[in-house]
């Protein structure tokens, strides 16, 4: 791993301070450090190279932020499964679970090959006339104006279409099962299990309960009734869609590979973060 990319939470002073320490650490070990071009103005004194395709150009991504920054890193991936080391500077820490004081130690372990890597399923979302996107947590379809029911045609694999009338629909990965889907009464799913969760939001007719389908099933959605819809990807990208628009969701061809903190236990993490007593 000779080329290390930094993905930094925007506007976060702590992330920039730690980023500078990591740059110095990597420079001393002879590595090339890559930074997104959007940070060029704030890092003039750093010995780095700038890239607008950082996930493709790097051998490792180091994420400085929280789970939201991890989701942004996932969106940067194309067809190369660049591994990700997440340093938690946020409030949640489901994915970015390495505390700042362990950052350099875990980074060294990653560089010398002794770190623990795990794979998490990504979804690939295709919308006509839009760039195909990678999603680590969830895809959400909801009304784009005033609150009212919308009609969505749901086709799973080769099965006949199901018409859903609801406030919206969440399509999530196992990683995303503890996020919006869980808040909408969806099931918690261990991330080592592969599958796709369809969770209706306040359903009125059609699919009234969450449904888990195999990961290799293609999910096609058609917006049947409604003047304006929003498609939100991992909480950071929103696409406006109109009636008749179609969306295709499938398992991405590459996984999200990340460094997992030693001693990590998913059930204990759920207990702590979701206050499961």
Does position 148 have pLDDT exceeding 90, yes or no?
A: no
Contact by Cβ (8 Å): 125, 251: no
Residue with token string 């969450």: 210
Assign a CATH topology to domain 123-251.
Tumour Suppressor Smad4 (2.60.200)
Picking from 163, 270, 170, 158, the residue whose alpha carbon sits closest to that of residue 230 is 170
Mean pLDDT lowest among 18-32, 122-136, 255-269: 255-269
What is the sign of the dihedral through the CA atoms of 34, 251, 111 and 7? positive
Provide the whole-model pTM: 0.92
Mean pLDDT in residue range 119-138: 94
| 56 has catalytic annotation | no
- Judge residue 220's burial from the number of C-beta atoms within 10 Å of its C-beta, 0-12 exposed, 13-18 middle, 19 or more buried: middle
Catalytic residue among 41, 52, 57, 67: 67
The string of DSSP letters for 6-72 reads: EEE-TT-HHHHHHHHHHHHHHHHTT-EEEEEGGGGGG-TTS--EEESSHHHH-SEEEEEE-HHHHHH
pLDDT of 133 reads: 95
Does position 277 have pLDDT exceeding 80, yes or no?
A: no
Q: What is the mean pLDDT of the chain?
A: 91
Residue 241 tokens read as 């869609």
Confidence of residue 42 (pLDDT cuts 50, 70, 90): low
Between 13 and 40, the higher pLDDT residue: 13
Rg, C-alpha atoms of the chain: 20
Residue 166 tokens read as 């609801």
Sequence ranges of the domains in the chain: 3-121+255-273, 123-251
Q: May I ask the CATH architecture of the domain 3-121+255-273?
A: 3-Layer(aba) Sandwich (3.40)
pLDDT of 168 reads: 94
Largest CA distance in the chain: 61
């Amino acid at each position: 791993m000779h080329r290390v990319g930094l993905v930094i939470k925007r506007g976060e002073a702590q992330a920039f301070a730690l980023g500078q320490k990591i740059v110095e650490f990597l420079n001393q070990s002879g590595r090339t450090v890559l930074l997104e071009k959007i940070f060029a103005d704030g890092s003039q004194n750093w010995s780095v190279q700038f890239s607008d395709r950082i996930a493709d150009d790097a051998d490792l991504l180091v994420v400085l932020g929280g789970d939201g920054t991890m989701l942004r890193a996932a969106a940067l991936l194309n067809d190369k499964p660049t591994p990700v080391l997440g340093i938690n500077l946020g409030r949640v820490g489901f994915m970015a679970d390495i505390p700042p004081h362990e950052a350099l130690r875990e980074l060294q372990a990653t560089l010398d090959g002794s770190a623990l890597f795990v794979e998490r399923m990504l979804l690939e979302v295709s919308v006509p006339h839009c760039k195909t996107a990678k999603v680590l947590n969830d895809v959400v379809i909801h009304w784009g104006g005033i609150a009212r029911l919308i009609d969505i045609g749901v086709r799973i694999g080769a099965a006949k279409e199901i018409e859903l009338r609801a406030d919206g629909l969440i399509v999530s990965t196992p990683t995303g099962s503890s996020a919006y889907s869980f808040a909408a009464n969806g099931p918690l799913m261990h991330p080592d299990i592969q599958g796709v969760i369809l969770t209706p939001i306040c359903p009125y007719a059609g699919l009234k309960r969450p449904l888990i389908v195999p990961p290799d099933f293609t999910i096609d959605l058609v917006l049947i009734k409604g003047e304006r819809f929003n498609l939100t990807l991992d909480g950071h990208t929103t696409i406006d869609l109109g009636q008749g628009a179609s969306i295709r969701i499938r398992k991405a061809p590459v996984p999200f590979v990340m460094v997992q903190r030693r001693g990590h236990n998913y059930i204990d993490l759920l207990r702590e973060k979701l206050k499961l007593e």
